[in-house]
Structure 1
């Protein structure tokens, strides 16, 4: 039997390190800024959001616009942060009515901190911070079934702490 406790600890350490570096280095500049937000890392996506597809080079996010109508957002933005000698990030935004956002240019088999934001006329009305791991290079990616498994494993990881 393989001891996975070291792997779990390494994953937790990586996410804590990444979150710390993102909060410390962004200094309020650029898109998806975390340094001026009072936000905690959570397992999985918030209610009414889901990963349509998690590939090796992109992720696709979906949402239920009817259930989120009370927020009155007009734009959804997704920023993926990654640490590799320095903080780098990719982001994309779309009108809320699209109900689908694709974030391209990601690195295969990499864990990203993802900041999901909703805006109403340029003002943030919602923010959520979680993590997602892209599929390995050459794999077919992961669909909604994988997303459910990821959420469950993320909750187990958080409860394990």
Structure 2
């Protein structure tokens, strides 16, 4: 016999009690669903459903109890007009990334793409091509390893496999 999941076990009076407690905390100013979910050890999607079941709908947080049109409009405004990132929207709303993208498309405003990589510091590409490792360049430039690799790739510099230098023969 299998044991019910934590979400499946939340029924009836226990579910309504938890929904009331979450509503009280939400109304007291804890408006980030992810934080509420972490505090009670439940998934953000469950916290969202419980708040909606309890009838929560506030003007300062239209992410709960709003229809898709309202939600899409609010998310698009935050993303495109205020510059909020997809990650920030996911944190605040606890919506799945695919759902968030669908809502942004629903608002006829696809998500902003990441900015083009800025070029690496002058001479960095040549130093790498002449044998400097990414770790050495990281120490010299103060630029993170992965960011430096991205900048070099964007500049057309072919990267070696990790641990290889131009002087080491490939086996």
- For the criterion TM > 0.5, the same-fold answer is no
TM-score range, shorter chain: under 0.3
Q: As a proportion of its length, which structure holds more strand?
A: 1
Q: Which has the larger radius of gyration?
A: 2
Instruction: Provide TM-score, normalisation by structure 1.
Output: 0.22
Q: As a proportion of its length, which structure holds more helix?
A: 2
